[in-house]
Chains A and B, each alone.
Chain A
Amino acid sequence: MSNNNIDSYTINSAREFHKLTTSSRFPPKKKDSNTPPPYPPPAIKSCNNNNPFCNHCNQIIIPSPVSSLPIIDNPSISINDKWFIITNHKPILNSNEIENFESILNNNLTLPEMIFGNNKIEILLKLNSKINFHLIFNALDALKLVDLNPLNLIQVSYADKWFKNKIKISNSNSNLEIFKPFDWTYTTFYKGTILNSIYNWNLDSNNLFQIPINKLTSNNPIKFFDEMILFEDELGDNGISVLNIKIRVMSNCLLILQRLFIRVDNVIVRILDTRYFIDFDDNLIIREFKFFENNYNDLLKKVKNLLDPKKLLRDINWCSKNLDLKSMQREYIKIDETI
């Protein structure tokens, strides 16, 4: 080997040293402008000093996850000392953590390739120092709901051909074991984990509690935004299955979208959306679940770009607008603060 090999260790320590010398170059803090905010300032606090406010818009900035150093980043904000929002960003699980996950799931499931098992979004409602409502989103609970014995096992587009050839060749040495079928697309009807709630969900059968878009639009400044992936699998290069979640908190409400996007190339495209809308003023929680699904080729027909049609099928936003809604359910909670 050559003499000019450098250890990654050496490079890392050089980088850290470099970071120390350049940290003073961070932009200086701007003075607050005098224009009054469009809404009365609510009592929003950043509960973590490591997460600075943005100089321009006062939003809390979350650092991106780092694999090399175990930095603990647990950004959280609170609203009126009632609502607490905690989010957490970490790299994918390492092999020990994966083993731990597998034992919890009783080894019945081949885990997705990328599990962001330490990522979470947590919402707490504390009234009179009592937790009245506690909601959390994490990968483990989502994976617990993956079907281990699906009735209609989805198969890749060339599975039939593949099996026919197998029978034709019928290699005596191959000695195939019976496989454990599980839903390898990781379709999960996970809607977040309610750890604790003194309230009950009411079904919105009369369509009274739609998520109010006008409350969410631009003149209501965003105080906190975060987005993360809970798990992702490339389905052995046969498509994608990704569970993504994002949250935005405004002065008087918050919105969460958890979206599971599944594309099995040449077979099927699915989106499972769960939205939580919480109105801090009206003490209202709305949960909306939507299930979209189309045959892959039916969706492909909607693409106008003939040069590179498959590009749009990788665009989750485009798919969400063009897939057919198969089912929907809306529930709500009216928070009674007197309880």
Chain B
Amino acid sequence: MTIEVDTAEVMDLDQCLEKLYKGILLSERVLEWLAFKVKELIINDDNIVHIQSPVTMVGDIHGQFYDLLEIFKIGGYPPNTNYLFLGDYVDRGYHSIETISLLIVLKLKYPSRITLIRGNHESRQITTNYGFYTECVTKYGSDSKVWSIFTDLFDFLVLSAIVDNTLFCVHGGLSPNVQTIDSISVIDRFKEIPHDGPMADLMWSDPDIELLNFRISSRGAGYQFGINVVNKFLRINGFEKIYRAHQLCNDGFQIFWKGKVNTVWSAPNYCYRCGNKASILEVFDDSKNPESFRFNVFDASPDSEKEFLKIEGNSLNSTMGGLDRMDSMDGYNGGSDFNETYEHRMNKKAPYVEYFM
């Protein structure tokens, strides 16, 4: 396996940044150092951080590193643009480590320009099920601590942000246990995301336009929330809008109740097969005009598809694999020619009759 992991152990942010922009992984020692510095930086942050416009909000990325680079191309590179990331940096995509590494280096380099909120995938439980753990073991070896370095760091991420005192930003949504933002401030956030309670709801719940109040999901846990809940929350806290991520939408964003709740989704062609668009939300000023913000919609980066074909194509030698993304990492050995990518990606599996059995 020839995934490029940098062996140098230079604790220098500029060098780290340069490598990460090229997609080169940092060494475990450096990651440990970076994670420590980030924890040191954000440990004193309140559970809710206050930021000012202009700012650009980014929804779920899910390890689609080349699409994150595309976001910077479209929205501007830090520190020229302020960014508020709404969580779910890891799992499902092929490059969770690259993604989270780049984001924490940017956070360290430009602390006041980058804000990272915790999403429901920034958790030990979820990352063992959805690929981040597998990616860490595949890329750094079974005796590495990389997965625990990152998941320990996740416990420190803040839970929500407020822009210009009017926009409430969170990964999932509202909770029956959160009437005012004071009840967010009192949460002890330095822990694994629990299964229930306000901290879980902030990261898990979804709006539903048919609803008035809260409803328990058919799954037997978690909430969906309706318009009355939203109105009450906005009124009590003096907010205008809620921005959140967490749910895939084909158009890259979704507007509920005339903009009172908005979903921002930033993983184009999700899981390399949905063909959906993605967006980032650019908030220019606090004037509340319709022109004060816009959803900048974009498609998947061609590099993202190229990486997918490279990894999928090479995985066939070693594993017949199901549909799951991370399982194919074993066969990664770089290099693929144009001829291969030209053909339909699935054609190579066709000769195997086992694939139908």
**A residues in contact (CB < 8 Å) with B:** 1-2, 4-8, 11-12, 15, 25-27, 54, 59, 61-68, 90-95, 98, 107, 110, 113-114, 153, 155-156, 158-159, 161-163, 165-166, 169, 171, 173-182, 184, 213, 216-218, 222, 225-227, 229, 235-239, 242, 244, 246, 248, 255, 257, 261, 265, 275, 307-308, 310-311, 314-319
Q: How far is the CA of A314 from the CA of B137 in the complex (A)?
A: 16
Verify if B76 is at the interface (C-beta below 8 Å from A): yes
Q: Which residues of B contact A5 (CB under 8 A)?
A: 74-76, 81
Q: Which residues in window 72-86 of B have CB below 8 A to A?
A: 73-76, 80-81
Q: Does B140 contact A (CB under 8 A)?
A: no
Q: Measured between alpha carbons, how far is A217 from B221 in the docked complex, in Å?
A: 47
Question: What is B's interface to A at a CB cutoff of 8 Å?
Answer: 54, 73-76, 80-81, 120-121, 126, 128-131, 133-134, 137, 142, 176-177, 179, 195-197, 204, 210-222, 226, 247-251, 254, 268-270, 273-277, 282, 284, 296-300, 302, 320-324, 326-327, 338-339, 342-347, 349-351, 353-357
Q: Cα distance A113–B213 when bound, in Å?
A: 22
Question: 16 A-B contacts, Cβ less than 8 Å apart?
Answer: A1-B76, A1-B282, A4-B76, A25-B338, A26-B342, A90-B275, A163-B221, A175-B214, A179-B218, A184-B218, A225-B350, A237-B121, A237-B126, A237-B130, A255-B356, A314-B131
Partner of B250, one of A1, A4, A95: A95
Chain A contacts of B338 at CB under 8 A? Answer: 25, 27
Is B353 in contact with A217, judged by CB distance below 8 angstroms? Answer: yes
Q: Is the CB of A110 within 8 A of B218?
A: yes
Q: When the two chains form the complex, which single residue of B218, B254, B339 contacts A153, counting CB atoms closer than 8 Å?
A: B218
B76 touches A316 (CB 8 A): no
Closest to B348 in A: A225
Chain A residues with CB below 8 A from B128, complex form = 310
CB neighbours (8 Å) of A15 from chain B are 302
Secondary structure at the A interface, as helix, strand, loop or mixed, is: loop
Kindly report which residue of chain A lies nearest to residue B350, judged by CB atoms: A225
CA distance A255 to B247 in the complex (A): 35
- A158 contacts B355, C-beta separation under 8 Å: no
Give, as a whole number of angstroms, the nearest-CB distance from B176 to chain A.
4
CA separation between A226 and B196, bound complex, in Å? 43
B221 touches A177 (CB 8 A): no
Given A2-B80, A161-B195, the answer on whether A179 and B321 have CB atoms closer than 8 Å is: no
Q: Are A11 and B327 in contact (CB under 8 A)?
A: no
Q: A68-B299, A162-B196, A317-B320 are in contact. Are A181 and B218 (CB under 8 A)?
A: yes
Contact yes or no, A2 B81, CB < 8 A: yes
| Closest beta carbon of chain B to A90's beta carbon, Å | 7
A67 touches B269 (CB 8 A): yes
B214 touches A176 (CB 8 A): yes
A91 and B121 in contact, given A61-B347, A113-B247, A176-B216 (Cβ under 8 angstroms): no
Partner of A159, one of B133, B212, B220, B347: B220
Q: Which residues of B contact A239 (CB under 8 A)?
A: 129
B344 in contact with A62 (CB, 8 Å): yes
Q: A90-B275, A92-B275, A310-B128 are in contact. Are A63 and B344 (CB under 8 A)?
A: yes
Q: Report chain A residues within 8 Å CB of B349.
A: 227
Chain A contacts for B254, CB-based, 8 A: 95
Given contact pairs A153-B218, A237-B204, a sample of 9 additional A-B residue pairs in the complex whose CB atoms are under 8 Å apart: A6-B73, A15-B302, A107-B210, A165-B196, A176-B215, A179-B217, A182-B218, A184-B217, A314-B129
Q: How far is the CA of A56 from the CA of B81 in the complex (A)?
A: 49
In-complex Cβ contact of B356 among A226, A229, A248, A319 (8 A): A248
Closest to A12 in B: B299
B219 surroundings in chain A (CB, below 8 A): 155-156, 159, 184, 235-236, 238
**Are A91 and B275 in contact, with the CB atoms below 8 A?**
yes
Q: Which residues of A contact B284 (CB under 8 A)?
A: 1
**Complex Cα distance A265/B248, Å?**
21
Q: A25-B338, A162-B221, A317-B321 are in contact. Are A4 and B80 (CB under 8 A)?
A: yes
Whether B196 and A311, one on each chain, are in contact in the complex, defined by CB atoms closer than 8 angstroms, is no
Q: Are A162 and B195 in contact (CB under 8 A)?
A: yes
Q: Which residue of A lies closest to B175 (CB)?
A: A174
Residues in A with CB closer than 8 Å to B345 are 64
Interface core residue of B226, B275, B298, B355 (most chain A CB under 10 Å): B275
Partner of B129 from A59, A227, A261, A310 at Cβ < 8 Å: A310
Inter-chain contacts of A176 with B (CB < 8 A): 213-216
Residues of chain B within 8 A (CB-CB) of A265 are 129
CA gap between A257 and B213 in the complex, in Å? 43
